[in-house]
Amino acid sequence: MDIYPNDDFPTISRNGKTFVQVCESKDVLRRIGTRVEFDEELQVAIFRVKDRLHAVSNICPHNHSPLLHEGEINADDCTITCPLHGWEYSLFTGKHTSSSHSHVQVYEVFEEDEYVFLEKPEPHEIEWKW
């Protein structure tokens, strides 16, 4: 599922952060990624693993590939593997599982009243390499 938030999407503030209501809870399926694209360079992948939501940048820093939402989820260690080159990241921390030099941004995400709320990402300079 792909979601393209705009100014019409409801927002709430908590702890100094803005959260966007991106979809209904039933729309985020177990072990299948949901892509939320704010713009081409600002995308988030949401995953439901063991009844918990996780949100990370959808853009793998290895080759600047916006495909993490299509990656394989390992529910045992709560990781996502990029489908392009196999880089694996923790859904808790965003850290690459075998390198301390690479990570993806982690975002807060929660459910309330049967809706999913995602921390609104701030634009930032993308660091990537070929």
Residue 72 — very low, low, confident or very high, per pLDDT cuts 50/70/90?
A: very high
Using one digit for the tens of pLDDT, what is the confidence trace for 51-62?
899 999 999 887
Whether the model pTM is above 0.75 = yes
Q: Which residues contact 128 (CB under 8 A, 6 or more apart)?
A: 59, 61, 62, 63, 64
Using one digit for the tens of pLDDT, what is the confidence trace for 97-129?
887 778 899 999 999 999 999 999 887 665 544
